């Protein structure tokens, strides 16, 4: 379901769009054909909500931004913004413990699968992004261990493992009166599909911790003006697997309460 927030005539929305396909280039094909039911439904939702800013998560990325720009036109936006996701970054190592080397920094069937896309009626400026931050470099990092208490799946994997799976950006958009609005945008790792080492669950919790750290100025001075946090936490505070305390703590943050 989409989530939208409007204040002072400026509306933002986010939707976990699931605009992935079985291979690269197929999303662009479906957009250009104009007959895809899923894309048609997205257009209907967008027309009903009419946000100035729309963050879509789980959208296939390509280096030339062809699919992004096609969606921008189809949905009636002026600007499309995306940062190359970690599902593009191939390593020489086994990062998930399945015994096979060559994993991407974020699980994907092909390069760019399941990224984030920001569509806007106003120009977007990137302040910073934390896609290259190593998991072990986070203060008090909780990282997966095997049954012997050793780094899981290996020390080599730990030394290169990035904490962000798809993306975590801070951008600035100016409303019609040129007032800056900062957006913290993220798409988290699923907390399931792992073993007792809880690799995915710990990574999801670490990604949520980064959102709080950004607001606490641990990665540069965070302004006291208007800001919005939105994205896909991939975690429910009341049900399902994962660190519910991590998401509940973020949701209770006084800075994120209804203004």
Domains and CATH numbers, the chain: 3-253 (3.60.10)
Coil, helix or strand at residue 169: strand
What is the rounded CA–CA span in Å between residue 134 and residue 65? 26
What is the rounded CA–CA span in Å between residue 120 and residue 85? 19
Q: What is the pLDDT of residues 178-234, one digit of tens each?
A: 889 999 999 998 999 999 999 999 999 999 999 999 999 999 888 788 899 999 999
Q: Is 47 exposed, middle or buried (0-12, 13-18, 19+ CB in 10 A)?
A: exposed
pLDDT at 220: 87
What is the rounded CA–CA span in Å between residue 134 and residue 143? 11
**pTM of this structure:** 0.92
pLDDT at 139: 87
Residue pair 39/50 in contact by the 8 Å Cβ criterion:
no
pLDDT at 223: 76
Q: What is the pLDDT of residues 35-53, one digit of tens each?
A: 999 999 999 999 999 999 9
pLDDT at 221: 86
């Amino acid at each position: 379901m989409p989530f939208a927030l409007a204040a002072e005539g400026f509306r933002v929305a986010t939707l976990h769009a699931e605009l992935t396909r079985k291979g690269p280039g197929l999303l662009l094909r479906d957009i250009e054909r104009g007959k895809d039911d899923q894309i048609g439904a997205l257009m209907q939702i967008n027309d009903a909500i009419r946000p100035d800013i729309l963050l879509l998560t789980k959208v296939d990325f390509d280096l030339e931004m062809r699919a992004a720009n096609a969606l921008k036109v189809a949905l009636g936006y002026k600007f499309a913004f995306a940062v190359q996701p970690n599902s593009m970054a191939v390593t020489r190592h086994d990062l998930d413990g399945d015994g096979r080397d060559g994993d991407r920094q974020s699980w994907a069937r092909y390069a760019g699968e399941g990224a984030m896309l920001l569509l806007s009626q106003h120009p977007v400026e990137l302040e910073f992004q934390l896609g290259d931050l190593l998991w072990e470099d986070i203060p008090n990092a909780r990282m997966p261990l095997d049954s012997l208490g050793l780094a899981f799946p290996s020390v080599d994997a730990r030394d290169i493992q990035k904490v962000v799976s798809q993306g975590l950006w801070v951008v600035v958009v100016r409303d019609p009166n040129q007032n800056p609005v900062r957006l913290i945008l993220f798409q988290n790792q699923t907390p399931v599909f792992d073993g007792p080492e809880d690799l995915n669950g710990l990574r999801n919790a670490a990604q949520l911790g980064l959102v709080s750290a950004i607001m606490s100025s641990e990665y540069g001075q965070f302004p006291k003006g208007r800001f919005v946090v939105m994205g896909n936490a991939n975690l429910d505070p009341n049900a399902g697997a994962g660190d519910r305390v991590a998401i509940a703590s973020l949701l209770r943050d006084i800075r994120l309460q209804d203004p």
